[in-house]
Amino acid sequence: MSGNHESEVRNPLILGNKTYHQMTEDICRPIEGKANKYWWVSFVIAFTTMIWGITCLSYTIGTGIGSWGANKTVGWAWDITNFVWWIGIGHAGTLISAILLLFRQRWRMSINRSAEAMTIFAVICAGLFPLFHTGRPWLDYWMLPLPNQFGSLWVNFNSPLLWDVFAISTYFSVSLVFWYLGLLPDLATVRDRCVNPTKRFIYGLLSFGWKGTARDWHRFEEVSLVLAGLSTPLVLSVHTIVSFDFATSIVPGWHTTIFRLISLRERFSPDLQWY
Amino acid sequence: MSKKYWKGVEELRNDAEFVRLKNNEFYENLPLDQVIEKKAQDVNTTPRRDFLKFLGFSVAAASLAACEAPVRKTIPYLIRPDQITPGIANWYASSYFDGYDYCSVIVKTREGRPIKLEGNPLNAVTKGGVNARVQASILSLYDDARYKTPISGGNPSSWEVTDKAIIEKLTAIAAKGGKIRILSSTIISPSTKKVIADFAAKYPTTKHVVYDSVSASAMRQANQESFGLNVIPSYNFDKANVIVALDADFLVNWISPVEHARQYAETRKLNGGKKSMSRHIQVESALSVTGSNADLRIPVKPSQQGAVAANLYNAVAAGTGASAIAASALDAETAKKIASVAKELLENKGKSLVVCGVNNTAIQNVVNGINSLLDNYGTTIDLDNANHLRQGSDTDLTAFLDELNKGEVAAVFVYNSNPVYTLPNGAAFAQDLTKKVELSVSFSDRPDETSAVCNYVSPDHHAFESWSDAEPRTGIYSVGQPTIAPLFSTRQAEESLLLWSGNPTNFHDYMAAYWSSAIFSKTSGSWNKVLQDGVFELPAAVTKNYKTSANLNTAAETIGKMSASGFELVIYEKVGLGNGQQANNPWLQELPDPISKVTWDNYIAVSPKDAREKGWKQGNVVTVKAGTISVKAPVVIQPGQAFGTASLAIGYGRTVAGRVADNRGVNAYPFTSLTGGNINMSVGGVDIQKTADEDYMLAATQTHHTMMGRAIVKETSLAEYIKDPKAGNEDELLTIKVGKGEEVKKKAGDLNLWGDFDNGNHHWGMSIDLNSCIGCGACVVACTAENNVSVVGKDEVNRSREMHWIRIDRYYSSDADPKEGESGDIKKMEDPSDMPRVVFQPVMCQHCAHAPCETVCPVIATSHSSEGLNQMTYNRCVGTRYCANNCPYKVRRFNWFRYTDNPQFDFNMNNDLGKMVLNPDVVVRSRGVMEKCSMCVQRLQDGKLTAKKEGRKLVDGEVKTACAQSCPTHAITFGDYNIPDSELNKMWNPDERSYHLLGELNVQPNVYYQTKVRNIEEGKEA
């Protein structure tokens, strides 16, 4: 979006007098080239951790949630802690991306993709905990208001946990769309540079026929603004709803309106979470 | 240049044959085709049939392989037995007595399986009460540790072989005049006594030695000396205005606890405007359940018990003009209290009762003296209708052990007792039994320490597989009938004895014949009617007043010589395991001790003061040494324990009992001693030393001790209650702002966010009278039995994952130190004082009308019924546990693991035998779902259906929850708010004692409590 024109009163955002072509080359290198050593090291670590995570979750599903050490007065422990923690992480990403967009901070362009990706994956991580912490995770879909043949069974719209389901899934879908929308021009660039027809076909599908015309860019910007406008209040509401899990209960220490504020504070400084 | 790899030369050469084969998936043709083709040439078979066979086989194999669930066979009745309708329970009157606990019961059987016990209300002794141990005995029936065949020389054998060998040996012993001894615990069955007499007639060298693991022999001796009657009297606690108990845990353990608890509770009830109640003073060393219910508790060391009795005698004698006896001085505080107790006793002459549980003839004689002076015989004490539940004679036991040690005894039959475990010196007994006796036979129905060292085991039936009769009190009979065919190749001990004495009859016929000749000859009766009712009564004898004729000065002299130095160890019985007979019963092991709340273990209880001084902490492992006996056990700091004493429970430390009980806790019996002619349950000069061992993990279900200033249990004194019936039950008022600066105070119940439910037909509810609850735990076991509650084991209890649907909370209360209140030190509030008062509170699901659990469940697995119940739909539960988090009473229980068929939880639900006890009306919950008290909805449904079939409405009291049914003191009243004159509605009086637990939350529970009232004057006594 930024032109060649640079403001004269501040330093340029991109140093080294790079041309658009050079920038495109730089950006596409990680995708088009071969993975380097560091990538492989990180991948192996991440993959091992994932396998370990899958093993642990399989054990949990196989033996029972009792293996997580909670008890009858502390019904939730690490599961809810991790859930709230990851939600906080997720919010930081959207905050950076959406609010900075609304405030027209162009420097966000250097970090918005990773911030948004962080949101997506943090929300996935957050969602995993409530899903697997249930006694019978294979029945988790009962928490969705799906038409069913169990009789007239429906979900309980009074339950903050159900609000959670809606809040998180809404937040996840908006963040996903926001993130994916930002990807479109770049996916098109990759598509245009592809020599391999299969790759070109796949990237062609992924880039939704992006042509880079002024109309494309216009709509892109409009939708980005709309989504940023949507996700900013979502950030506020989602964490509020997460805090409702505690605040609406009648357990002493939990039954307090301060939870909403604590949650908000967390959003701005997720590193300070769990007071 | 890359290399070429090939699998075989054929591949390298690309042979035509190779190429052809390569294109086929299988190298050769499928053999199946060959078989079919070959058979097809055979004229006698047809390919179609073979095809069908193969098809059938493969479908069966595939479906078998696909079946994950194990195949469970249910076999329908080909010919339905008379009286059994599948789905309908049959109830049989029966009796339970194991030498320790007695209850007349009604056994519920389903499809031929006994699954639940309820008290028989017709019985004059137990009157419908059942205690925790008897309640749990139904599970002992299905204990897979039981003997399955007779045992001969340690190996399974057959009845023919065993009988032949035993008869041969008996005949040989009788021929040469060798002594035959039958060693048993108390036998209250007249027919069994006749069987033993018959046996003795056949083998004249036979003598029957009776001893009790927890002996009351001194009482019988003292009554012999005092009144010439070798009996234990029946007590009428209900006729007593003042009750003084000297080390007698009469509500849960001592002699006839079910009977005493009911009588006691009658004197404590304040229903219907009653303004008086009995006063209960307990003098004891360890904090017992009875002591924790007392109005005044005087802690003394065991060595002081005699001095207390003597001083009390003197104080009473001074009031009646009798002469004093020698008595050593007590410390000033105790002396003052004893003097005031004596005053109260004298004010209630003839309406007071002094009971003593010390197994010491001298002390018992002095206590008899006190009761004589107070004219209590004939009113509160009934010597003419004696209690038969403890008949053991320590003198006989001493003589027998002596004979045995000298090698004079040729044959020993052990019936219903486990001397190797329960005798003070069981190891020596085991040695003598194995080395000096020719024939030793145990009748034990399951392995125990004694049967393990006997030559033969002739396993008895369990109580509910046998015929029995019982005479717990003179003239009051109950009978027991089998409720299931014997599970194993066992035989009733009476039948064995009859057979060996040459009378191969069955015991039922024998008993019926005995009854018609010995009992129906006194008063006419019908055997069938007796079987149906389970009870039979002869007219009671008129009770007379007795005066002691014992020489109290001799007794006082003996008492004067009693002394002990240093720490004293008290050996006591726990509510769960009692004397340890049913130690292999997981329900009892998991039943929390009413006072310490510890499960699965016994421990050394010491007072907080001693612990502070010696630097002991909860869970520290100490060595307890008395003489040559030494054990290692963990410390529990027990408020209320007398200073300078420690206590240790019997019943634990079994070595041959089964996988549940073996090596759990330590055996305390070796600390008892058979000195001075009686079994002594305390020992002085005990050395307790902290060891370097790691702290021991004790699994307690309640680890906090006080109410931290909240009004959970509301409590008041009788004096206050008489002044204002609402004393102690002040409402929590909420401040509401109306308009500017204006405030009004309102009751939480007056503010409603939601509308009320319409409970048109029934509106179930429950009242719990804290004044009647003694904390005995019978309801907990009854609930476990009724609702298939899982046992989870020590580790899981330690993780606060016990599954009991009803729990009994215990709180300590003491006058708060105002200074501590000012400093606002919350943590200090949790420390009970050294001698606190104790309150019990049963808590189950409160079935709130505005239930916090219901609003938070995302899938509506818990909902409100039209009858006021908060109900749980297990099928729908996904296990978010939000409901449990939001429950203010913390009564919801989660299935953290699968508790059935899981070797990790190897209790009764891990084997087919143990699972026979399960109630088919209640689903066994699967892993991952929440469960909780359902107010026995299956019973309600059953009652409603019965009423519907008979075309009428349910009558009040017709259905009861398991807890309400089993409560020996009737502290729990279950009923219907929609019946205007129901017991429940009569009890509900918020202007007096009724209150809702945590009423300020306004969750509108359907369960309410009644304030506890103590017969004290606040501030008058410390």
Count of alpha carbons within 13 Å of B889, Cβ hemisphere only?
Answer: 34
Q: Which of B877, B888, B928 faces A65 most closely, judged by CB atoms?
A: B928
A76 touches chain B (CB under 8 A): yes
Least Cα distance to A208 among A230, A186, A229, A237 occurs for: A186
Task: Tell me whether A19 touches chain B (CB under 8 Å).
Answer: no
CATH for the stretch B715-1014: 3.30.70.20
pLDDT tens digit sequence for B452-486: 999 999 999 999 999 999 999 998 999 999 999 89
Give residue B448's pLDDT band: very low, low, confident or very high (50, 70, 90): very high
CA distances from B635 to B589, B605, B619, B703 (A): 19, 6, 5, 15
The model's confidence at residue B825, banded by pLDDT at 50, 70 and 90, is: low
Query: In sequence order, which residues have a C-beta less than 8 Å from that of residue B920 and are 6 or more positions away?
Result: B87, B110, B111, B115
Tokens standing for residue B289? 């359940």
Please compute Rg for chain A using Cα positions: 22
CA distance B341 to B344: 5
Interface of A with B in 128-187 (CB under 8 A): 130, 133-137, 139-140, 142-143, 150, 153-156, 158-162, 165
- Please tell me which residue of chain A has the smallest CA distance to B882: A75
Q: What is the rounded distance in angstroms from the CA atom of residue B587 to the CA atom of residue B907?
A: 9
A250 with B884: Cβ contact below 8 A: no
Contact B894 A75 (CB under 8 A): yes
Chain-chain contact of B858 with A69 (C-beta, under 8 angstroms) = no
- Give tens-digit pLDDT for B968-982: 899 999 999 998 888
Residues of B in contact with A65 (CB under 8 A): 879, 896, 928
Q: Give the residue, B920 or A6, on which the prediction is more confident.
A: B920
Predicted confidence band at B731 (pLDDT cuts at 50, 70, 90)?
confident
Confidence of residue A252 (pLDDT cuts 50, 70, 90): confident
A3 vs A218: CA distance, rounded Å: 15
**Would you call B930 and A153 a contact, using CB atoms and an 8 Å cutoff?**
no
The neighbour count for residue B736, using CB atoms within 10 Å, is: 12
Per CATH, domain B564-700 is 2.40.40.20: yes
Distance from CA of A75 to the nearest CA of B (A): 6
CA distances from B42 to B39, B55, B969 (A): 5, 20, 84
Per-residue pLDDT averaged across A169-194, rounded? 88
Residue A139: list chain B partners with CB under 8 A.
Answer: 878
Cβ–Cβ of A159/B856 closer than 8 Å?
A: yes
Residue among A66, A156, A251 minimizing CB distance to B859: A156
| B857 Cβ under 8 Å from any chain A Cβ | yes
Give the Cα separation of B593 and B836 in Å (integer).
17
Cβ within 8 Å, pair B892-A70:
no
Q: Which of A159, A161, A164, A169 to mutate to test the interface with B (most CBs of B within 10 A)?
A: A159
Q: Do A75 and B858 touch (CB under 8 A)?
A: no
Tally the C-alpha atoms within 13 A of residue B312's C-alpha that lie toward its C-beta.
Answer: 37
Among B799, B896, B931, most A C-beta atoms within 10 A, so best to mutate, is B896
Asked if A63 has any chain B CB less than 8 Å from its own CB, the reply is yes
CA distance B949 to B945: 6
Which A residues, 37 through 56, put their C-beta within 8 Å of a C-beta on chain B?
A: none
List Cβ neighbours of A72 (8 Å cut-off, separation of 6 or more): B800, B801, B802, B884, B890, B892, B893, B894
Q: Which residues pair with B994 in a beta bridge?
A: B1010
Nearest partner of B490 among B448, B454, B462, judged by Cα:
B462
Q: Say if the Cβ atoms of A72 and B894 lie within 8 Å.
A: yes
User: Would the CB atoms of A250 and B890 count as touching at under 8 Å?
Assistant: no
Whether the pLDDT of residue A23 is over 80: the answer is yes
Cβ distance of B928 and A154 shorter than 8 Å: no
The three-state secondary structure class of B923 is: coil
**pLDDT confidence of B1022, banded at 50, 70, 90?**
very low
Chain segment A61-101, per-residue pLDDT in tens: 999 998 888 888 888 888 888 888 888 888 888 777 888 88
- CA B757/CA B847 separation, integer angstroms: 13
CB atoms under 10 Å from CB of B814, counted, come to 14
Residue the block writes with tokens 């004159």: B981
Taking alpha carbons only, the member of B532, B14, A45 closest to residue B6 is B14
Residues 6 or more apart from B156 whose CB is under 8 A from it?
B148, B149, B150
Radius of gyration of chain B (CA): 33
Residues in chain A: 275
Chain B: closest CA distance from residue A152 (Å): 11
Who contacts B70 (Cβ-Cβ below 8 Å, separation ≥6)?
A: none
One-letter amino acid for residue B880 of the chain: T
User: Cα–Cα distance between B748 and B675 in angstroms, integer?
Assistant: 62
Poorest-pLDDT segment among B422-436, B554-568, B791-805: B554-568
Half-sphere exposure of A90 (CA within 13 A, CB side): 33
Could you tell me the fold of the domain covering B227-300+311-387?
Dimethylsulfoxide Reductase; domain 2 (3.40.228)
Answer whether A72 sits within 8 Å of B890, measured CB to CB: yes
Instruction: Give residue B40's pLDDT.
Output: 46
Could you tell me which of B851, B858, B857 has the C-alpha nearest to residue B887? B851
Decide if A72 and B858 are in contact by the 8 Å CB cutoff: no
* CB neighbour list of residue A191: distance below 8 Å, 6 or more residues apart: A200, A203, A204, A206, A207, A210
- pLDDT score of B441: 93
Q: Which residue of B has its CA nearest to A150?
A: B876
pLDDT beyond 60 at B1016: yes
Cα A47 → chain centroid: 20
- Closest chain B residue by Cα to residue A65: B896
Band the pLDDT of B63: cuts 50, 70, 90: low
CA distances from residue B250 to A90, B299, B304, B427, B635 in whole angstroms, order as listed? 64, 17, 20, 31, 26
Q: Hey, are the CB atoms on A64 and B857 less than 8 Å from each other?
A: no
Q: Over the stretch B679-694, which tens digit does the pLDDT of each residue have?
A: 998 988 889 998 888 8
A69 in B contact zone (CB under 8 Å): yes
What are the strands, taking DSSP E only, across B225-372? 232-235, 242-246, 279-284, 296-299, 352-356
Where in chain B is CATH 3.30.70.20?
715-1014
Burial class (CB in 10 A: 0-12, 13-18, 19+), B750: exposed
Write the residue in B796, B858, B886 that is nearest to A250 by C-beta. Answer: B886
Q: What are phi and psi of A146, to 5 degrees?
A: -95, 145
B845 touches chain A (CB under 8 A): no
Structural domain boundaries of chain A?
Answer: 75-272
Q: Under DSSP, is residue B346 helix (H, G, I), strand (E, B) or coil?
A: helix
β-bridge partners, B744: B736
Q: Each residue of B287-304: pLDDT tens digit? A: 999 999 999 999 999 988
Chain B residue with the nearest C-alpha to that of A135: B928
Interface ipTM: 0.86
Select from A8, A242, A268 the least CA-distant residue to A126.
A242
Whole-number Å distance between alpha carbons of A144 and B711: 41
User: What letter represents residue B962's amino acid?
Assistant: A
When CB atoms are compared, the residue of B796, B856, B927 closest to A249 is: B856
Residue of B nearest to A252 (CA): B888
Structure tokens at A53: 């995570």
Of B857, B879, B893, the CB nearest to A65: B879
Q: At B70, is the pLDDT very low, low, confident or very high (cuts 50, 70, 90)?
A: low
CA distance B848 to B869: 8
Please compute the mean of the pLDDT values over residues B264-276 and round it to a whole number: 86
Q: Has residue A54 got a pLDDT over 90? A: yes
Nearest to B929 among A69, A135, A153 (CB): A135
* Segment A156-166 mean pLDDT: 88
Nearest to B1009 by CA among B892, B886, B846: B846
What phi and psi values does residue B377 have, to the nearest 5 degrees? -70, 135
Per-residue pLDDT, A272 = 43
State whether residue B336 sits within 8 Å of chain A by CB: no
List phi, psi (to 5°) of B355: -120, 155
pLDDT over 80 at B119, yes or no: yes
Q: What is the pLDDT of residues B863-889, one digit of tens each?
A: 999 898 999 999 899 999 999 988 989
Among A59, A65, A72, A166, which would you mutate to test the B interface (most chain B Cβ atoms within 10 Å of its Cβ)? Answer: A72
Q: Give how far Cα B744 sits from Cα of A94, A229, B737, B1002, B1004, Å.
A: 47, 46, 6, 17, 21
Count of A–B CB contacts within 8 Å?
114
B927 touches chain A (CB under 8 A): yes
Close Cβ partners of B107 (under 8 Å, ≥ 6 residues apart): B91, B92, B93, B94, B114, B116, B117, B138, B464, B483
Nearest to A71 among B801, B876, B888 (CB): B801
3-state helix, strand, coil in chain A (%, to 5): 70, 0, 30
Q: B619-670, pLDDT tens digit by residue?
A: 899 999 988 899 999 999 999 999 999 999 999 999 999 889 898 999 999 9
CA distance B513 to B520: 10
Distances (CA, A) of B401 to B218, B392, B405, B412, B424: 18, 14, 6, 11, 11
Residue B160, burial from CB neighbour count under 10 angstroms (0-12, 13-18, 19+) = exposed
Surface of B (865-904) touching A: CB under 8 A: 876-882, 884-886, 888, 890, 892-898
- Cβ–Cβ < 8 Å for B263, B255: no
What's the rounded Cα separation, in Å, for the pair A164 and A167? 5
- Tell me the H-state helices in B665-744: 718-723
Q: Report whether pLDDT(B716) > 90.
A: no
> Which of A67, A242, A250, A255 to mutate: most B Cβ within 10 Å?
A250
CATH 2.40.40.20 domain span(s) along chain B: 564-700
Which residue in A156, A157, A166 has the most chain B C-beta atoms within 10 A of its own C-beta, making it the best mutation to test that interface?
Answer: A156
Closest residue to B893, CB basis, from A72, A154, A156: A72
Amino acid of residue B470 = A
Confidence of residue B333 (pLDDT cuts 50, 70, 90): confident
CB within 8 Å: B884 and A72: yes
User: Given strand B1007-1010, what is the order of strands in its sheet?
Assistant: B972-976, B764-769, B1007-1010, B994-995
List the single range of A15-19, A227-231, B291-295, B371-375 with lowest mean pLDDT. A15-19
Q: In this model, does residue A275 exceed pLDDT 50?
A: no
**Tokens standing for B522?**
């006194």
What CA–CA distance (Å, rounded) separates B603 from B668? Answer: 10
DSSP string, B1003-1021: ---SEEEE-EEES--TTT-
Between chains, do B878 and A165 touch, taking CB under 8 Å as contact?
no
Instruction: Rank A65-74, A247-256, B400-409, B821-830 by mean pLDDT and report only the highest.
Output: B400-409
How far apart are the C-alpha atoms of A248 and A164, rounded to whole Å?
Answer: 13
Determine the Cα angle at B713 with ends B708 and B717, to 5°: 110
pLDDT at position B25 is: 53
Q: What pLDDT, on a 0 to 100 scale, did the predictor assign at position A264?
A: 61
**Residue in this structure with the two tokens 């209900």, named with its chain if needed:** B238
Nearest C-alpha of chain A: how many angstroms from B796?
9
